[in-house]
Amino acid sequence: MEKEGSETRNQSRLAILELANMISVPMSLNAVVRLNVADAIWQGGSNTPLSADQIISRVIHSGGDADNLQRILRMLSSYGVFEEHVSEGERKYSLTDVGKTLVTDEDGLSYGPYVLQHHQDALMRAWPLVHEAVVDPNKEPFDKANGEPAYGYYSKQPEMNELMVKAMSGVSVPFMRAMLEGYDGFQGVERLVDVGGSGGDCLRMILQKHPNVKEGINFDLPEVVAKAPQIPRVTHVGGDMFKSIPQGDAIFMKWVLTTWTDEECKQIMQNCYKSLPEGGKLIACEPVLPEHSDDSHRTRALLEGDIFVMTIYRAKGKHRTEEQFKQLAISVGFPSFRSFHVDHFYTVLEFQK
Ligand SMILES: C[S@@+](CC[C@H](N)C(=O)[O-])C[C@H]1O[C@@H](n2cnc3c(N)ncnc32)[C@H](O)[C@@H]1O
């Protein structure tokens, strides 16, 4: 042990206090999303630094505690969400590039719903039970806390399903823009199935960019596709990917395999294999873990997401390395595998039959 009072000992104690108090960060982020602070500051692109008082007058129309809002903004500034401008004793806040991800764009999308989706009451009830995933991995903390697995629970709560679809759109649309710039695997595809396609945003964007794709099938749970909007050339099909998957020349899947165990992934991939013709492709976009751990934003976002999956979806669902995905694909019969790194969070994994 380092000597009492030494710099190392002091820094270590600060580090553990920071970690122990860290719940303040996502919960304050949740608060600024609920209060719509990012849109209030952005105001069509002006991003003029505003005091907490000025922000309050734009987001709460009767009263509100500016001092408490300032405490939240100040703390989030230290995490790079806002920039703090101090002049003559007054603190004002503008959005950093990180903060700008919370601004609602012209399509009504932002990363805000993703923040809210992660902090709904049912999910929050699961978090104190993370250790239970170690003690007994047969049932995930979400199930222990709420009495049933996440997707079954969402299906009975229309507002949770709606928020899930909005959260997915907010994150998926920017990724899809990057993917469609850097990946050309949709050439020659005429009928494309999106498994777990949620509201159909990914298909809409693929079809807009690739007119050769004549028909898109957006396949998701019946209660999810029931609410999906009409999209030209897209048919919404409700079903269960564990039973069967509609046929297509290629199957697209984004952020689906991650939430399931190895055995469940094999079942989904086997059903994809059966629905593809010889030479057909399964194109899966998933968060892919690096082999080595480090403290970069990328590695942390991926490792934190891994614990989220363990807590909410499946105690043995997980973020995987490229090699683990490759082994799963080989085990169900896909002979060929390629990966494309077009985004920092998702990797495009292409398995050809
Ligand atoms: C993490 S979301 C990803 C949504 C979308 N692909 C995206 O990235 O924006 C996973 C999706 O899988 C769907 N899903 C879950 N279980 C399913 C099942 N058994 N059959 C079909 N879809 C399912 C969910 O409803 C949800 O839309």
Q: Residue range 198-223: average pLDDT? A: 94
Instruction: Answer yes or no: are the C-beta atoms of 34 and 118 closer than 8 Å.
Output: no
Burial of 236 (0-12, 13-18, 19+ CB in 10 A): buried
Alpha-carbon Rg of the chain, whole angstroms? 22
The alpha carbon of 142 and the centre of ligand 1 are apart by a number of angstroms equal to: 17
Burial class (CB in 10 A: 0-12, 13-18, 19+), 8: exposed
Mutate to test the pocket of ligand 1, among 111, 205, 219, 221 (most ligand atoms within 8 A of CB): 221
Q: How far is the CA of 5 from the centre of ligand 1 (A)?
A: 52
Whole-angstrom Cα distance, residue 107 to residue 201?
11
pLDDT at 27 over 90: yes
Distance 66 CA to ligand 1 centre (A): 40
Residue that has been written with the tokens 């039970």 in this structure:
129
CA of 88 to the centre of ligand 1 (A): 51
What's 164's DSSP letter?
H
Give the position, in ligand 1's atom list, of the atom nearest the Cα of 241: 20
Beta strands of 223-341 (E only): which ranges? 234-238, 250-254, 281-289, 320-321, 336-340
Ligand 1 pocket test target in 172, 198, 244, 283 with most atoms within 8 Å of CB: 198
Q: Which residues contact 296 (CB under 8 A, 6 or more apart)?
A: none
CB 272 within 8 Å of CB 255 = no
Asked whether residue 287 carries a pLDDT value surpassing 80, the answer given is yes
Cβ contact 151:143 at 8 Å: no
Q: Which residues contact 304 (CB under 8 A, 6 or more apart)?
A: none
Using a pLDDT cut of 70, give the percent of the chain over it. Answer: 100
- Helix/strand/coil for 296: coil
Give the 3-state secondary structure of residue 213.
coil
Nearest-angstrom CA–CA distance, 236 and 216: 8
pLDDT at residue 113 tops 90? yes
Query: What would the pLDDT profile of 178-191 be if each residue is shown by its tens digit?
Result: 899 989 899 999 99
Average pLDDT, integer, range 315-320: 94
pLDDT tens-digit series, residues 82-93: 999 999 999 999
Is residue 91 helix, strand or coil?
strand
Mean pLDDT across 120-139: 96
Provide the pLDDT confidence category of residue 302 given band limits of 50, 70 and 90. very high
**Interatomic CA distance for residues 159 and 154, integer angstroms:** 8
pLDDT at 161: 87
Helix ranges, 43-149 (H): 52-59, 66-77, 97-100, 112-118, 121-126, 130-135, 141-146
- The residue whose CB lies within 8 Å of the most ligand 1 atoms, and thus the one to mutate among 117, 118, 148, 151, is 151
Residue 5 scores a pLDDT above 90: no
Q: Is residue 1 scored above 80 in pLDDT? A: no
CB 198 within 8 A of CB 220: yes
Q: Who contacts 148 (Cβ-Cβ below 8 Å, separation ≥6)? A: none
Give residue ranges with CB within 6 A of ligand 1.
151, 168, 172, 196-198, 202, 220-221, 224, 240-242, 254-256
Is pLDDT at 8 greater than 90 in this prediction? no
Predicted local confidence at residue 2, as pLDDT: 78
User: Strand, helix or coil at 178?
Assistant: helix
> Given this model, what pLDDT does residue 63 score?
86
Q: Please tell me the distance between residue 259's alpha carbon and the centre of ligand 1 in angstroms.
A: 9
d(C-alpha 224, C-alpha 156), whole Å: 11
> What is the number of the ligand 1 atom nearest to the C-alpha of 242?
19
Domains of the chain, each with CATH number or no CATH = 7-100 (1.10.10.10), 112-352 (3.40.50.150)
Q: What are phi and psi of 249, to 5 degrees?
A: -70, -30
Q: Would you call 337 exposed, middle or buried from its count of C-beta atoms within 10 A (0-12, 13-18, 19+)?
A: middle
The pTM of this model reads 0.90
**pLDDT tens, position by position, 259-275:** 999 999 999 999 999 99
Question: Residue 165: which pLDDT band, with cuts at 50, 70 and 90?
Answer: confident
Residue closest by Cα to atom 13 of ligand 1: 196
